[in-house]
Each structure stands twice: as C-alpha cells, then as structure tokens.
Chain A
C-alpha cells in the first residue's frame, strides 16, 4: 500500500505547485496567445517574498501567511509591469513574446542573483507545517497538504472570480471572442492587464509553496516553467478544468516514475509521454470546439 500512497500523495503535491504555475500561463496563453516564459521567474519572486517577509517579521508562525498576499501582489504587479512595458506592443505577433519573455526571465534571474546571491536562502516552515499526518501508513508532511490546499484555494478563488464577478465575465468574453467582446464595450486592454496581474500573482503564491519545500534560488523558476507549459498544452489552452487534471496527472505520473526509476529518468519519460499524448490529442485534453482553421 505504501508503494502506492507515497508517490500518489507527493505527486499530488507536485501537481498542486504545477497547477499554481500553470494557471497564470493558461490564462495569458488562452486569452492573448502570449507565451510568458518569465512566469517561472514569478515563482522565484514569490519564493523570495516568502524569504523577505520571514526576515522582516521574524515570527515564522505567521510570516508565511503574510507572505501569501505579499507574494501575490508583488508578483502580480511585476506581471502587470511586464505587460505594460513589453507585452502590449507584441500582441500582433504572439510567437515572438516567447523570445522576449525568455529575455525578461534571464534578466530577472540575474537580478535575483545579484541582489540575494547565487546560493539561495532557506525559508523556515512554521511549526504548524512541520508535522506529519498518517495516510494509509504513509507519514505525509503537512507542508504538502498545505500546498494542495493552497492550490485548491487559489483555484476556487480564480473560478469564483471568473464565474461570478462582472470582471470575470469580461475575461471569459475576451477569451472566447476578443473582437465581439470589444464591441460589447469590454475594455480588452484593461482585461489583458488584470489577467496578467492575476496569472503572475498566482505564480507568486506558488513560489511561496515552493520556498517551503526547497528554499529560494535565483534559478528556481527554470525547473518549473517547462513542466508547467506542458501542463497547459496538455490540458488544453485556456481550460481551467483541463489544466487541473493535467497538472495533477503530470505530478502523479512523475512521482510514480521517480519511485520506479530516478528523478531524471522520470522527467524524461514524462516529457515523452506528454509529447505522445499531444500527437494523439493535439489540442489538449479539453478544448473549445471552434470552426477556425488554425
């Protein structure tokens, strides 16, 4: 039983982090066709926010709770800054945003390295996350449970915003048909900007969760960006439901493969599986059916 529960639970936690990283990507990709390679760096920003709040507040018991909104807002603002300064000039050629944001990612990494040092700093998890809970004989760390709850909370929040607020309706309208949304009086420029804020902020929250598991590191985002993108692509662009399932699947499959082989082989095999899955379903697991050719 243990051989099954352990990878299942740790994989679910990994999937939760991937979900936090991928939610922002799927929003911006689905809505604007923008591929934000700097999204991994917003994870990194979130992790450093957790570290900084801990340095400022001192009390580890509450600092992590303070760090969550701080990371959300700071990473979100950075995302918005990215949209205003660079991305908004490039909506006519979405593929090129990929390269520009690669450049932004490099700059942010080096900036973090210059400010905080190349070594990375530890983030102490509070005592109430230090314990373990017994699940089918596996002593599951609270931290992982916390990560999952965090991701589910973020997902619930995002779904609620999308579904029940007028702003969420504007986002959904823009995703479905930008021109039509504009004719109905939706300011798609504003919508784009706020979507960037939300997506980057969610990545920041994910960064806080990562900092509890592996501390901070200037290049922390690079490890997550590709898996997060594969999650987005696998789940179907702009599809929350698909993203959730894909994130969870990638996390769990990787965890099982890690258990059977090794961490690196698991990564290779997971990537291969995603590519195979995409050749079977090029539009991802879930997709909005349209009659468009592309």
Chain B
C-alpha cells in the first residue's frame, strides 16, 4: 500500500510524511463518524432527510471535482447524468407504486394510459440498478468520445455540456406523456419494497446516501494518488506534453468524464427516494450550475472540497431561500464572483496557505535560534489533496490556451 515517491524512498517514512499520505484517510474516517454515527442519532428526521439530499448532490459534485478539478474539463451539464440516474430510479419506484402490470398514474392523466415499451424493463429492480450505472456510462462515453477525441476542450467543452443540460431538460418537459413533463415524477410509496413513510426506512436511505459519499471519498482518494490520478492532473496542466509522451489525453479525460457521469447518476438515484420527486428543475442548466457552485466553493481539485462545498451550498440554499428567497440568488451570484475571482482553489486552498504561513514563521524564528533547518523545508508537496489547484498558475495557463 505504501506509495514511495522518489524523494522519500531512501528512508523509512517519517510520521509527518506518513500523516501526509494517510491523513486524508483519517479525515474521511472522522467525516464517516460525523455523517453515519453522530448525525442519525442527533438530527431530527426532517434535518436528516435534508442532509441526505445534500449527500446525494455531493456525489454529483465529487464527480465534478474529478472531471473539472483534476481533469480540467468544466462540466456544466452534470444535471443530465444526475437526471439519468434519478429518472431511472424514479421510473422503477413509479412502477413499483403502480403494482404488477400497472401503469404509472400520470400516464392515464396526460395520455391514453398506455406505457411506452422502454419503461417495461424498469419494473425489474436489478435492471434499474444496472441502468443507473450503464446508461450514464454509455451516454457519457458516446458524447465524450465524440468531442474529446476531436480535441474539443476548454470553453467549447463547457458550452456543449451546458447545451446538453438545457436540451435534456427541454426534452423532459416536452415528453409529458412519457416522463411526466414539467412536474416530473413524484408520489412514490416504496423503495425496493420498503415503505418510504417508515421513519426507519428514511433513516436507512440517509445512511445509504451518506455511506456512498464516504465510499466514493475513499475511492477518489485512492484514484488521486494512483498513477492514473497523476496522469489526469498532468493532462489538465500540459495536455500537449502528455500527448508527446505517447499517451492519448482524450482517453485519460474520457475515463474521468465517464466516472463523473456515473457518480452523478448514482447521486441522482439516491436523491429520488429521499427527496420524493425528480423534475426537469433538478436536472436543467440552473441545477447543473448550482452543483458547480459547491465544487468551486469547496475547492475543485481537493478531495473533500467538492463534497463539503456541495453540502454547504445546498444547506445555505435551503436556509437562505426559506427566509430570504430573493437574497439567495444574489448570494449565489456573489459566491461565484468572489470565490472564482479571489479564491480559485476554493476554501480548501486556504489551509495550505495558512499552514505555510505558520510554517514560515516557525522556521524563521527557529532559524534565528538554531541556524538554518535544512531538514525541514516548507513542504509544498505533502498533503497533495489539499493543495491549491496547480491550474491556477496564470503563466502556465496563458501559455496553454
């Protein structure tokens, strides 16, 4: 399990460097205790339900962190993949509510009561779970292959994904007889047979969402320190150089894009039973942008930033928009402006700054006392998950674009 970077391979890693490597894992464990032990026992059902929704959104945001923060692909349409998973799950639950051979209620309301054939497989639970993972993977593969292989990137990529979200929401609204249109899908009764009105089931749904966040944090931690994670960051920072080294950047990015899509889809799938509704409002361009807000706030390239940022933004949204509905939009707008302008690495980039400040002061005072302490330089490379994103280096970016 020990990854040895060339600098530290000579000696047994010190406690500090080991903490730098496994510290994030420790932080994940703390977060797991907070989310899975503390929260269910001390929050009310209503608040827990809300937190569950935030966790579902956090899953999508973590995918954005992978694709955008680490891969440099500004995905402005993750609502599409969130929606694919959510609608797949909602269709299954709708069919469950309708009973065997039943037809979802809205189809008789808006249409003639006949069900389109592509709904039929979603009666099966296992198929639904399969579809939640396979459909976004296939869609993102086709889309990503088409545009990444053609070296469409940067703003083009962002605009295309945003257009995709707009198109998807429009399509959903237009197909009222097949997807419930603007109202979306709602009024479910059971989740794989479990009664949704049972508080115990609700608590377990929350545990599912929060548990998935923890699981994906561990997966992402492992991915970020893997060879692929390094390659992804390298592609982000110097795509041409990676190409010259013999890799195909399109493939590297495609994997991240697909992973982000699947994560968003899983987030959508757990969002539906907790929220009890999925509608085009949850998947369109504004929803996709809201997902980005959390990632930008938390720190796009960091491990925890996207997840915690998403939870913070969702919490802020529901608290602020309850009390001051109009102020929320100002707040969100200001958040984008202030964070991107002044803190492009997000809140996560504050920590290394503070630490290096403290460290600089300490080394300065100790170097006065003991002479220069060469063994303990300011460690810019440790704790790499919390580093400010290297793509903020203006000179490099200017040279690339």
Contact = CB atoms under 8 A, between A and B. Distances in A.
Interface of A: 29, 33, 35, 86, 89-90, 92-96, 98-100, 102-107, 109-110, 113-114, 222, 226, 229-230, 233, 262, 264-265, 267-268, 271-272, 274-276, 278-279, 282, 293-294
B150 interface: yes
Contacts of B336: 99-100, 102-103, 106
A103 B166 contact: no
Contacts of B152: 278-279, 282
B170 A93 contact: no
B246 to A, nearest CB: 16
A107 B329 contact: yes
Nearest to B396: A92
Interface string B141-154: 00100110011101
Given A35-B159, A94-B401, A86 B341 contact: yes
Query: Secondary structure of the B side of the interface?
Result: helix
A103 B335 contact: yes
Binding site secondary structure of chain A: helix
Interface in B365-389: none
B173 A264 contact: yes
Given A33-B401, A229-B159, A265-B174, A104 B240 contact: no
B60 interface: no
27 contacts: A29-B155, A89-B341, A93-B392, A93-B397, A95-B154, A98-B74, A102-B289, A103-B332, A103-B334, A103-B335, A107-B330, A107-B333, A107-B334, A110-B333, A230-B159, A230-B163, A233-B159, A233-B160, A264-B170, A264-B171, A268-B170, A278-B147, A278-B152, A279-B147, A279-B150, A282-B151, A282-B156
B137 interface: no
B344 A93 contact: yes
B150 A282 contact: yes
A109 B330 CA distance: 9
Given A95-B74, A96-B344, A106 B296 contact: no
B400 interface: yes
Contacts of A90: 340-341
A198 to B, nearest CB: 20
A292 to B, nearest CB: 10
